[in-house]
Amino acid sequence: MQKVYLDSAATTQVRAEVIEKMQEALATFYGNPSSTHSFGRSAKTQIEKARKTIAKRLNASPSEIIFTSGGTEADNMILRCAVRDLEIKHIITSKIEHHAVLHTVEQLEEEYGVKVSYVKLNECGAPSLEDLETLLKENSEKTLVSLMHVNNEIGNMIDIDAFADKCKEYNALFHSDSVQSIGHWEWDVQKTKVDFLTAAAHKFHGPKGIGFAFIRKNIPLKQLIHGGSQERGFRAGTEPFHNIVGLEEAFIQAYDHLDEERTYVTELKEYFMKELSNAMPGVKYNGNCADNEKSTYTLVNACLPLSADKGALLLFQLDIKGIACSKGSACQSGSAAGSHVLTEILNEEDSQRPSVRFSFSKYNTKEELDYVVACLKEFANS
């Protein structure tokens, strides 16, 4: 039995270079970064170096980068602080956002009475820029728009510049959950007029438990976590220094090798879809994931031509074969709830079939993909 990991959209294998840097940090820079002695100053210097590294690549100011425990905290922090501190009365989002956004927005609606609007989606799950403009025109209250750059389930990408420009046209703030994007796509926050971005290191071969928020300067948010003056007074708590060092190294490696790794992974994705389509006629690709102009190169979400009963056993059978991937199904099969993303875009017939997300990385090979396709074909014919 082979072991094949095709779940990199959930989390990625940590690069060897990152592990080495983190081990060095744990052994060498063990002072508290808030301490004023040399041990603390050495650790603090490394944190600020990481902040500058990230800011330079994003074309941001170091003061605009705030380290967090990951994307979920960053999304929560930005949305909650925006409502609390900026008197946001209206949030526009979509029904296929990550739950870190959707559940937070639901709480804000309940706690603060914020009006929530959901931008219309086309049949592939792409948010409508025209409908966003309609919603912005209809509302005169202070508004925050929250739309993810790359959808984590179906891979759809929005035209981030167009959406950012539209928000600016109507004086709305724009937050984008970019957890599936940063580390895989280039960013220039001087060109792309977003106000807030979020990132998580474990999505681009870094450690879990660390990420960052980009908060554009002169937006007067106040701290959400109280206690100390860390992160320029914005986020209290002793910094997880080793994780920040790991985040920096993963970030450096991701962008130093971005072109070659994107080319390689794109070829893997296209090869997988070709082989899967040949092996299982009738397979469909959800959202825009089959179109590399409208989706990320890192994943494909396939609706397989299998019955609901057979689909209920699919992930179990793949796991037995050593294959890791993620199930996304609009029907409630093997879980308490189906995928809220697929529920929005699949028709009744396709919602009864198993949909599986296969996500790729630099560590995958075509030989592994051949094995996965062979296992899927064997299961379909059994």
Residue pointed to by tokens 């025109």: 137
The phi, psi pair for 150, rounded to 5°, reads: -125, 125
Q: Is 298 left (phi over 0), alpha (psi -120 to 50) or beta?
A: alpha
Q: Using H for helix, E for strand and C for coil, what is the string for 190-203?
A: CCCCCCEEEEEHHH
Tell me the one-letter amino acid at 306: L
Contact 12, 202 (CB under 8 A): yes
Please, which contacts does 131-137 make with residues 24 or more away whose CB atoms are closer than 8 Å? 132/92, 132/163, 132/166, 133/166, 133/170, 135/92, 136/92, 136/166, 136/167, 136/169, 136/170, 136/172, 137/170
Pick from 242, 243, 150, 232: nearest CA to 197? 150
In the DSSP assignment, the letter for residue 291 is -
Instruction: Pull the structure tokens for residue 172.
Output: 């709305």
- ∠ CA 168-172-177, rounded to 5°: 95
Instruction: Pull the structure tokens for residue 318.
Output: 């793949």
Catalytic residue numbers read: 331
Q: In whole angstroms, what is the distance from residue 312 CA to residue 331 CA?
A: 10
Q: How many residues does the chain have?
A: 382
Give, for 116, the enclosing helix (H) or strand (E).
Answer: strand 115-118
